[in-house]
A and B are shown apart, each in its own frame.
Chain A
Amino acid sequence: METGTAKVIDKKVYTSPAAAVPPKRSSVKRFLKVFLARKVVVFSLFVLLSLVFVAIFAPLVAPYDPYYQDLTKSLQKPSMEHLLGTDMLGRDVLSRIIYGSRVSIAVGIVSVIIAGGIGMILGLIAGYFGGFIDSIIMRFMDAMMAIPMIILALFIGSALGGGLDSVMISLGIALVPSYARLTRGQVLSVKESDYVLAGTISGTSNFKNMFVHVLPNSLSPIIVLVTMNLGIAILAEAALSFLGMGINPPGAAWGAMVNEGYKYLMSQPVLSIAPGIAIIIVVLSFNIVGDALRDALDPRLRGRI
């Protein structure tokens, strides 16, 4: 009897370490199961993939040239010929919205890459080294955060002179503090881990320790923030373009289209309404995917990001 019990205990002892480190495939499966659990997430992913497709193949998808002006056809109501009508210069609104997706996608991705790149490096340095360097970096981040994001982006954008590049850079810089703070917080907890300590003791350089051990283990909340910020950046770009400090005419940007249509609100409300709906659909999809990603990667982040 006693031998039997011992065997069972032995078996438990033998199997537990394997159970503690599950094979990678099952963790990916579990992630996908949680991530794609809700239909709305799958639908949002579909919307975003379609958006990327439309943005890439805009010349093939758009029914007309978005810059072609035909003043004889200005301010036409939606019809079979022009599904969303034409604007004051006789340009096809649907084609302009399709081309506008390129601006939104480009601004979203590039500004998040700039913000993530700079913010992660600053957060990593601040969290890893601590002390004076940490104080300096984080106080600068606090100073940037004291200026509301959209105003900071406007401010930097006006200094850079407007246009697509300037919008991307100014939004990228305005979003830096959120990445720096998040990465720093992650690094502070990860750097206390035994494996980082082991690296330090075995003489691993600070650079290798930071980028090979600390950063990869701090990534999951950053991935969530990236997804969420894509929506925020697209909204902010629309706001900057609406204020006349974003994409210069005749470029097709959704925010600028809302502003242009504002003057014809009484006669042709679709000019302002249609690009606004495009913004909502895309931003909502990014937010829903971001939420699902957060729940699948680390539900504890709920409320923090």
Chain B
Amino acid sequence: MTSFIIQRLLQTIVVLFLVTIMVFTVMHMVPGNPILVLLGPSATKEQIALYTAQFGLDKPVLVQYFSWVSNVLQGDFGESIIFRQDIGELIATRLPITVFVGGLAYIISVVTGMTAGVIAAVKRGGFIDSLITITANLGMATPIFWLGILGIYLFSLQLGWLPVQGFTWLTVDLSKGIKQLIMPVLLLSTVPLAMITRQTRSAMLEVIQQDYIRTGRSKGLKEKVIIIKHALRNALIPVITLLGIQLGNLVGGSVLVEQVFNIPGMGTLLVQSMLQKDFLIVQSCVLIIATVVALCNLAVDIAYGFIDPRIRYK
């Protein structure tokens, strides 16, 4: 198991190293000079030269890359060209919000998705199964930003039950915070929930047909024991692989949900800086997001190794 963990850890480091190369290369393909964006069209040649030197953009590309990576490794992401603020500080205030909202959505989607998937599989072909399957298919096909707008129209503007947008930490104002969280969290969980439901359903259906389930039934085990103890435990294995992928979906979805509900998280920071062409923030945000996703995937893989011995001996 230790060698499996070390191997996966090394792979993650390599992947993150490649992410830095990719992010840096894409950002250097961007047409135009970010300094010109900062200074505007009236900038003089001297000003441009001064700022270019200040941000180190006059150095060779390789030198820029290595100085960026070594600074990032020391926790220094540099200063935002547009916001004129330390990027590390900006991210430190934004990342916890995204992680908090995303974490809640993740828990909801995993618990509800697995439960719905099991129920659909057990009641295969019936009304409940059809209802769950249709809802899951709809969930995968619906743009969450649209669903968010629909939710705002219905629950905020028409019924007045929930606030239109915003984010408040629960420690600051509990009831306001909860009200503001309900729609974003539910919306963010839509796609992962739909996918986990579908995956659990099909994994359960496959397991239910296995010989050992028939054996369990023929020796008179209770249905509950068969489903929970024997079927679900084996059906969970392919579902867990999906959980890592869902993290990516969740982070991608948070960009949209934060935009709709005006939540000051990483998603809004990323979109803002992309629109304002502050590429130093963009590359830092993408790197941080990739690191979070890669580390979560690493954790899922290690958990997978514990659950299924076949994986760690591969």
Contacts and interface: CB of A to CB of B under 8 A. Distances in A.
B142 interface: yes
A298 interface: no
A245 B274 contact: yes
Contacts of B15: 139, 142-143, 146
Interface in B252-267: 252-253, 255-256, 259
B293 A146 contact: yes
Interface string B117-150: 0000000000000000000011011110111011
B187 interface: no
A239 interface: yes
A: contact size bracket: 35 or more
A258 B274 contact: no
Interface string B17-28: 011001100110
A124 B69 CA distance: 33
Contacts of B23: 155
B46 to A, nearest CB: 28
B290 A139 contact: no
A288 B137 contact: yes
B: contact size bracket: 35 or more
Contacts of A235: 141, 143
Contact of B11 (A142, A148, A261, A265): A142
Contacts of A143: 15-16, 18-19, 22, 290
Interface stretch (A85-93, A216-224, A273-281): A273-281
Contacts of B203: 303
A183 interface: no
B199 A279 contact: no
A265 B282 CA distance: 31
Contact of B202 (A272, A283, A302): A302
Contacts of A140: 18, 22
Given A154-B274, A235-B141, A258 B289 contact: no
Contacts of B18: 139-140, 142-143
A179 to B, nearest CB: 15
Contacts of B147: 276
Interface in B74-108: none
Nearest to A232: B140
A242 B275 contact: no
B293 A147 contact: yes
A84 interface: no
B286 A276 contact: no
A156 interface: yes
Contacts of B252: 148-151
B31 interface: yes
Contacts of A142: 11, 15, 18
A10 to B, nearest CB: 37
A284 B137 contact: yes
Which of B14, B29, B143 is the most central at the interface, judged by chain A CB atoms within 10 Å of its CB? B143
A215 B291 CA distance: 34
Contacts of B259: 242-243
A303 B255 contact: no
Which of A158, A245, A255 is the most central at the interface, judged by chain B CB atoms within 10 Å of its CB? A158
B293 A148 contact: yes
B146 A272 contact: yes
A243 B286 CA distance: 17
A258 B145 contact: yes
Contact of B157 (A146, A231, A238, A265): A265
5 contacts: A159-B29, A239-B256, A244-B271, A280-B141, A284-B138
Interface of A: 139-140, 142-151, 154-156, 158-161, 231, 235, 238-239, 242-245, 255, 258-259, 261-262, 265-266, 269, 272-273, 276, 279-280, 283-284, 287-288, 302-303
